[in-house]
Amino acid sequence: MSIIIYIAVMAAVTYLIRMIPLTLVRKKIRSRFLNSFLYYIPYTVLSAMTFPAIFYSTGSAVSSAVGTAAALILAYIGMPLIVVALAAAGTAYLAGFVITLF
pTM, 2 dp: 0.62
Q: Which helix (H) or strand (E) holds 92?
A: helix 81-101
Express each pLDDT in 66-89 by its tens digit.
Answer: 999 999 999 999 999 999 999 999
Count the domains in the chain. 1
As a whole number of angstroms, the distance between CA 99 and CA 55 comes to: 16
Express each pLDDT in 26-76 by its tens digit.
Answer: 888 888 998 899 899 999 999 899 888 888 888 889 999 999 999 999 999
Express each pLDDT in 13-23 by its tens digit.
Answer: 999 988 888 88
Phi, psi (deg, nearest 5) at residue 78: 95, 25
Amino acid at 71: A
Which residue range is the domain that position 61 belongs to? 2-101
Tell me the CA distances in angstroms from 93 to 3, 30, 64, 96, one per residue in order.
Answer: 39, 48, 9, 5
